[in-house]
Amino acid sequence: MFDFEKIDKIIHEKGRLGIMTLLATRPSWSFQDLKAQLELSDGNLVTHLRTLHDNGYVAITKEILDRPQTSYALTAKGRQSFQEYLTILEQIVKAARQ
Amino acid sequence: MQTSTEAEENLRIIRSLMEKATIYRAISAPAALLGGVLAIAVAATAWWLSGLSVTGAKVPFLVSWLAVLAITSGANLWLLWRDAVRRGEPFASQGMRLALRAMMPALLAGGFCTLIATDGGWPLIASLWVLLYGVSLLAASHFAPKSLCWLGRVFFLCGSLLLVLGIWVADSWRGTDQTTLAHLIMGATFGLFHLIYAACTWPRNTGGAA
């Protein structure tokens, strides 16, 4: 029997899962690009990013180019947690098929 | 409680988002605008010169369109590089490699078709270029934004029609200036379609994939 308690509850939410997935595809994402891809409201996106940041999964970089821009990236801990989360999902699917 | 259905749904979401994130815009709107303007300018100049009836006053077909290709491709590469730097991605990203791998066979076929060109055969070459350019864009449609897929469809349809039309009306057009006709085909397709593409994608270019 699979131990469902192993699932990372921080990642296991649709909005945060989307953020973690996108952050895993590129070195960094701007707030606007994340918002455009995920179609989340500013408030929702900020809340999810803050949760991920508070848990050490996401690093935030603020810089001023031609205008102030905030970019987000996965930390080493975040990347490892995401990989573990994926492994657990695959194990669940495999267990159900056997 | 987590079920296998939920796990499968989450894996589907992850796969779908990762595919969306690798969508690659191989032609930037400003480069399309530049290419469109240059193509129409070359075609218009060729048409204007053909009306002057001055001996030797012709726009050479191959040289002029290779120049348009070189300038537009150079500008496109520079814009893609700048965009990659802005996003913190490598220039030769996975998306670019996928796009090049998919588009290259049809683009090379277009180049090889040029080798069969003989004097007076430029309208056929122009039609083949239009068709094969459409095929190359359609080959990248799995990871291209919708606007590029539409551009590919329009080029493919137009190239096919031009080839069919060329067979039907070849005899009646035998007396016309074939080089000017080829210039006009290029201006009406590569010029006009790229201008429309630039106009449609320009406002949304900074956001997601349009």
pLDDT, tens digit, 9 for 90 and up, residues A49-78: 999 999 999 999 988 767 788 899 999 999
For the cut 60, the answer to whether the pLDDT of residue A95 exceeds it is yes
Mutation target for A interface from B1, B4, B85, B143: give the one with most A CBs within 10 A. Answer: B4
CB within 8 Å: A4 and B4 = no
* DSSP structure string for B50-86: HHHT-TT----HHHHHHHHHHHHHHHHHHHHHHHHHH
Structure confidence at residue B210 (pLDDT):
41
Which of B11, B18, B21 shows the shortest C-beta gap to A89?
B11
Mutation target for B interface from A12, A26, A28, A94: give the one with most B CBs within 10 A. Answer: A26
pLDDT, tens digit, 9 for 90 and up, residues A3-34: 667 788 899 898 999 999 999 988 888 898 88
Q: Which of B163, B165, B136 is nearest to B152 (CA)?
A: B136
The alpha-carbon gap from B121 to the nearest alpha carbon of chain A, in Å, equals 47
Which of B7, B14, B207 shows the shortest C-beta gap to A21?
B14
B9/A contact by beta carbon, under 8 A: no
How many percent of chain A have pLDDT more than 90?
48
| Cβ pair B210, B146 in contact under 8 A | yes
Q: Chain B residues with CB inside 8 Å of A27's CB?
A: 88-89
Cα separation, A75 vs A87, whole angstroms: 18
A98/B contact by beta carbon, under 8 A: no
Q: What does pLDDT average to over chain A?
A: 88
Mutation target for A interface from B9, B11, B12, B14: give the one with most A CBs within 10 A. Answer: B14
Q: Residues 6 or more apart from B108 whose CB is under 8 A from it?
A: none
Q: State how far Cα A90 lies from the chain centre.
A: 18
Q: How far apart are the first and last CA of chain B?
A: 38
Listed by number, the residues of chain B in 83-122 with a beta carbon closer than 8 Å to a beta carbon of chain A are: 87-89
- C-alpha to C-alpha distances, A47 to A10, A36, A43, B100, B134, nearest whole angstrom: 12, 16, 6, 39, 44
Specify the pTM.
0.66
CB atoms within 10 A of CB A3: 8
| Cβ pair B120, B180 in contact under 8 A | no
- Amino acid type, B98: L
Structure confidence at residue B205 (pLDDT):
41
For the cut 80, the answer to whether the pLDDT of residue B194 exceeds it is yes
